[in-house]
Amino acid sequence: MHTLRVLVTDDEMGMRLGVTRTLRDFSVCVPDVNGAVAFAVDQAESGEEALGKIDRSPPDILLLDHKMPGISGLEVLDHLAGRETDMLTIMITAYASIETAVAATKRGAYDFLAKPFTPDELKSTIRKAAARLILAKQARQLTEEKRRVRFEFIRVLGHELKAPLNAVAGYLDILRDHQLGDDLAAYEELVARSLARMDGMRKLIADLLDLTQIESGQKNRELTKVDLAAAAASAIEAVAAQGAARAVTLQLHSAGPLVISADVREIEIIFNNLLTNAIKYNRDGGRVDVALQRAGEQAAIVVSDTGIGMKGEELKQLFGEFVRIRNEKTHHIPGSGLGLSIVKKLALLYGGDVAVESRPDAGSTFTVTLDAEV
Amino acid sequence: MSEPQSQRTVLLVDDDDDFLFQHRLHLETAGFNVLVAHGQKEAEVFLARQRPDLAVIDVMMENPDAGFTLCHRIRKQDASIPVILVTSVNSETGLDFALSTDEQRSWIKADSLLTKPIRFEQLQREIDRVFSRAAVKA
């Protein structure tokens, strides 16, 4: 249970005890919060004492009498002005005058209670303040979480961009120092390896731009009628050379046009990522089968390969950003680690999802579902 | 120097093929016998058969901490094999650790930790250092 701290500041002992008693067993339920919110009440009998307590440890809610013998409630607010705090102040005043209300609001008071008030009036005011505090706290946690996720992404991105640079720099060092002697042919592999790393870096940057565009609110999305069968056929053609290089056969299974409303570029990205993965993680001479299905309101793209497959624990993390399954079967396969996270984000955008079934050394099947409305 | 370097075998473990290619070249030129492994599991297969004189291990491989795990295994198997950890995880990328004290060395279980990119001269210096430290202990 969440507990909010309340400091009641009033020179009348009866008022302090009354508030304490009313809130002692009071709890409120705030929407979107698990469990109830309870209150711990502390007391101060003067503005001076309240300021001392607030200095040491600010409460969540300050119940503040306006008229007190020493410094007044408004003066307490003056002292508190300009502090960075979430504390909400509720002014208690015997003269519910507009002037006092305006003066207190200008000094940052959140709400008012006019004396005399009933326990129910107190509870209702406290309930409102509690809801506001909890929601503000949640909003801040969400912002912090977003910032943390962003930082983590950039941290890993930095790592992924530095690795190819280090590799290319290493080869250039060898070239500069003529470490392989005078045989020029011996240097060709170093150049080829350097170019391959730069290709990988280019792909990473392209994926990064795709990802950023998807996340940026899709300003450039253009929804038209897209035939998935035609899109699949042209995607297969686009990767044909890559497949041929490893003698991987690609085949489309579709029962004619399957038209959905989509951005054609996004559909291309989905097919391209699924197909290049199916080739890269295949065995030489393997197969890739692309099936298109309509299941009620949804269309499904099913891509199966006969490749290295994955283990159960590897599947769990597969759709995260920069997740690459690293083992002795995959170390030589280039990839940005962003492709499947892009596919997942796009599928969600189309009211669908992506699922995977896989068996080590037998192959994997990826199923992307998309809303099929036209 | 207790024995000539040509006799010494270095186990080089990294999931980056280019790192393996380059440092194998350097180490072989420097007269070492080099075994390469692409990850913790492959390295463990080597270790079951053969005792290298030194292991140079990347930290992030199959798992973010595969290098630490491997290092720990080597220590348990034969504490006399010096281990140099290599990582591109440093203060710039979020994680910072040093191996400047014996306490840190015993916690990380490595003799040395280098931050990528590493130049071969740097690795060579570190290899000389861990061998001379191992010689003192022996």
Question: Residue B88: its chain A contacts at CB < 8 A?
Answer: 159, 162-163, 166
> Is residue B91 a contact partner of residue B65, using CB atoms and an 8 Å limit?
no
Beta bridge partners of A260: A226
> Is residue A201 a contact partner of residue A168, using CB atoms and an 8 Å limit?
no
Q: What mean pLDDT comes out for the span B5-29?
A: 89
Which residue from B16, B21, B29 is facing A163, i.e. has the nearest CB? B16
* Digit-coded pLDDT (tens) for A310-341: 998 888 889 988 888 877 788 788 888 899 99
Q: What mean pLDDT comes out for the span A352-371?
A: 96
* Digit-coded pLDDT (tens) for A144-179: 998 888 888 888 888 888 889 999 999 999 999 998
Q: What mean pLDDT comes out for the span A113-128?
A: 92
Measured CA to CA, the distance from residue A371 to residue A266 in angstroms comes to 14
3-state secondary structure at position B92: helix
pLDDT of B92 over the 50 cut: no
Domains of chain B: 14-122 (3.40.50.2300)
Nearest CA to A253 out of A292, A221, A205 is that of A292
CATH topology of domain A2-144: Rossmann fold (3.40.50)
Q: Which residue of B has its CA nearest to A193?
A: B18
pLDDT of B99 over the 60 cut: no
> Is residue B73 a contact partner of residue B44, using CB atoms and an 8 Å limit?
yes
Q: What is the pLDDT of residue A163?
A: 87
How sure is the predictor about B5, in pLDDT bands with cuts at 50, 70 and 90?
A: very low
CB contact under 8 A, A179 and B61: no
**Shortest Cα–Cα distance, B58 to chain A (Å):** 12
* Digit-coded pLDDT (tens) for B60-88: 888 878 898 999 999 888 989 999 999 87
Nearest CA to A336 out of A148, A172, A149, A153 is that of A153
CB contact under 8 A, B117 and A158: no
Which residue from B22, B39, B88 is facing A170, i.e. has the nearest CB? B22
Question: Residue B119: its chain A contacts at CB < 8 A?
Answer: 173
Q: Hunting for tokens 């020179």 — which residue is that?
A: A11
Question: Residue B27: its chain A contacts at CB < 8 A?
Answer: none
Q: How many C-alpha atoms does A204 have within 13 Å on its Cβ side?
A: 24
Structure tokens at A171: 């080869």
Nearest CA to B14 out of B116, B132, B135 is that of B116
Q: Which residue of B has its CA nearest to A156?
A: B93
Measured CA to CA, the distance from residue A104 to residue A89 in angstroms comes to 9
Q: Which residues contact B84 (CB under 8 A, 6 or more apart)?
A: B54, B55, B56, B57, B110, B111, B112, B113, B114, B123, B126, B127, B130
pLDDT of B127 over the 50 cut: yes
Most confident of the ranges A2-11, A140-149, A307-316, B110-119: A2-11
Beta bridge partners of A294: A299
Rg (CA), chain B: 14
Beta bridge partners of A359: A363
Q: Which residue of A has its CA nearest to B36?
A: A328
Q: What is the pLDDT of residue B109?
A: 66
Mean pLDDT over all residues of chain A? Answer: 90
Question: Residue A159: its chain B contacts at CB < 8 A?
Answer: 88-89, 93
Q: How many C-alpha atoms does A358 have within 13 Å on its Cβ side?
A: 22
User: Which CATH code, of 3.40.50.2300, 3.30.465.10, 3.30.565.10, 3.60.150.10, is assigned to A220-371?
Assistant: 3.30.565.10
Measured CA to CA, the distance from residue B88 to residue A82 in angstroms comes to 44
Measured CA to CA, the distance from residue A324 to residue A330 in angstroms comes to 9
Q: Which residue of B has its CA nearest to A157?
A: B93
**Shortest Cα–Cα distance, B136 to chain A (Å):** 33
Backbone angles phi, psi at A3, to 5 degrees: -120, 130
pLDDT of B104 over the 80 cut: no
Measured CA to CA, the distance from residue A322 to residue A234 in angstroms comes to 28
Q: What mean pLDDT comes out for the span A46-75?
A: 93
Q: In this structure, how many other beta carbons lie within 10 angstroms of the beta carbon of residue A223? A: 12
Measured CA to CA, the distance from residue A368 to residue A352 in angstroms comes to 7
Nearest CA to A322 out of A345, A347, A339, A343 is that of A339
Q: What is the pLDDT of residue A90?
A: 94
> Is residue B61 a contact partner of residue B39, using CB atoms and an 8 Å limit?
yes
* Digit-coded pLDDT (tens) for A194-225: 999 999 999 999 999 988 888 887 667 889 99
Measured CA to CA, the distance from residue A360 to residue A365 in angstroms comes to 12
Measured CA to CA, the distance from residue B36 to residue B34 in angstroms comes to 6
Structure tokens at B91: 């203060």
User: What length is written for chain B?
Assistant: 138
Q: Could you tell me which residue, A100 or A283, shows the higher pLDDT?
A: A283
3-state secondary structure at position A106: helix
CB contact under 8 A, B39 and A166: no
**Shortest Cα–Cα distance, B47 to chain A (Å):** 16
Measured CA to CA, the distance from residue B115 to residue B60 in angstroms comes to 12
Beta strands per DSSP E along chain A: 2-9, 27-28, 37-44, 61-65, 88-93, 111-114, 223-227, 249-253, 259-263, 287-295, 298-305, 353-359, 363-371
Q: Put residue A82 in one of left, alpha, beta given phi > 0 → left and psi -120 to 50 → alpha.
A: left
pLDDT of A350 over the 90 cut: yes
pLDDT of A63 over the 90 cut: yes
- The A-side interface with B (CB below 8 A) comprises 155, 158-159, 162-163, 165-167, 169-171, 173-174, 179-180, 193, 197, 326-328, 331-332
Q: What is the pLDDT of residue B91?
A: 45
DSSP of A191-227: HHHHHHHHHHHHHHHHHHHHHHHHHTT-TT--EEEEE
Q: Which residues contact A66 (CB under 8 A, 6 or more apart)?
A: A72, A73, A74, A91, A92, A93, A94, A95, A100, A104
Q: Where are the domains of chain A?
A: 2-144, 220-371
Beta strands per DSSP E along chain B: 9-13, 33-37, 54-58, 83-87, 112-115
* Digit-coded pLDDT (tens) for A274-309: 999 999 999 999 999 999 999 888 999 999 999 999
Measured CA to CA, the distance from residue B93 to residue A279 in angstroms comes to 32
Q: What is the pLDDT of residue B100?
A: 57
